[in-house]
Structure 1
Amino acid sequence: MRMLHTMIRVGNLDRSLDFYQEVLGMRLLRKEEYPSGKFTLAFVGYGDEIDHTVLELTHNWDTSEYDLGNGYGHIAIEVDNATKACDMARQKGGKVIREAGPMMHGTTVIAFIEDPDGYKIEFIEKNT
């Protein structure tokens, strides 16, 4: 068994694709429209689905925003340097909501940014 993807619902697919591609450097792997169901699925990631876990962006055509609820946590991305990742995200229009620094009760360096729909993305600095 292996993890295939995580799905999140987005209110504006173009805005979300821009964020995940331009701010986080993912690439669009495939996009499928389902007119009879009035939704589009877009899969983004850092590598091909055959051997990488990816992110599925689901856009329901008649819904422009979602209540994220209190059960969702975050998407985690490993980075070489969390401070530089925050700076790069900010320069590309990303919203940094927690600057890089040690996690509470630990030493791992983390930071958080937010996507256009309010989903949290954690940068975890690689241990070298």
Structure 2
Amino acid sequence: MRLMHTMLRVGDLDRSISFYTNILGMKELKRSENEEYKYTLSFLGYDSIESSTVLELTYNWGIDSYDHGQAYGHIAIGVDDIYTTCQLLKDKGCVISREPGPVKGGTTVIAFIKDPDGYSIELIQEGSN
């Protein structure tokens, strides 16, 4: 078994794809549309769908926002240099919702950003845990 993907519902597919590709450096790996049920799926990631866990963005046609509820937490992305990465993301207009620093009660260095739909993304300094 393997973890294949995480799915997020998005209100503007082009805006979200632009964020994940242009800001976070992912590649769009696959896209499919279902005209009968009026939705589009886009799979993004840093490696192939077959060999890594990817992000599935689901756009239900005509729906432009979602309530995230109380259960959603975040997705996490490992980075080599969290301070430089956060500065580069800020320079690209990304919202940093928690500046880089050690996690409370620990030594792992983390930061949080928001995607265009308000989903939280944790950045984790590789090798800091």
1:76 is matched with 76
1:12 deviates by: 0.3
Residue identity matched to 2:4: L
CA distance in 1, matches of 2:48, 2:115: 22
What is the DSSP-based 3-state SS (H/G/I as helix, E as strand, rest coil) of the residue aligned with 1:6?
strand
1:114 is matched with 114
1:34 is matched with 34
Q: How does 1:33-112 map to 2 (within 5 A)?
A: 33-112=33-112
Residues 32-68 of structure 1: per-residue CA shift (max 9 Å, x gap): 0111111000000000011000000000012100000
1:16 maps onto 2:12 in alignment: no
1:7 deviates by: 0.4
Residue identity matched to 2:71: G
**TM-score, normalised by the number of residues in structure 2:** 0.97
Residue identity matched to 1:65: S
1:119 deviates by: 0.3
Residues 66-109 of structure 1: per-residue CA shift (max 9 Å, x gap): 00011000010000111111111111121111110000010110
CA distance in 2, matches of 1:63, 1:30: 21
Residue identity matched to 1:44: L
CA distance in 2, matches of 1:75, 1:90: 19
Once superposed, which parts of structure 1, at least 4 consecutive aligned residues long, lie more than 2 Å away?
A: none
What is the DSSP-based 3-state SS (H/G/I as helix, E as strand, rest coil) of the residue aligned with 2:85?
helix
What is the DSSP-based 3-state SS (H/G/I as helix, E as strand, rest coil) of the residue aligned with 2:71?
coil
**TM-score, normalised by the number of residues in structure 1:** 0.98
1:4 maps onto 2:20 in alignment: no
Unaligned runs of at least 5 residues, structure 2: none
Q: Alignment length, in residue pairs?
A: 128
CA distance in 2, matches of 1:92, 1:30: 25
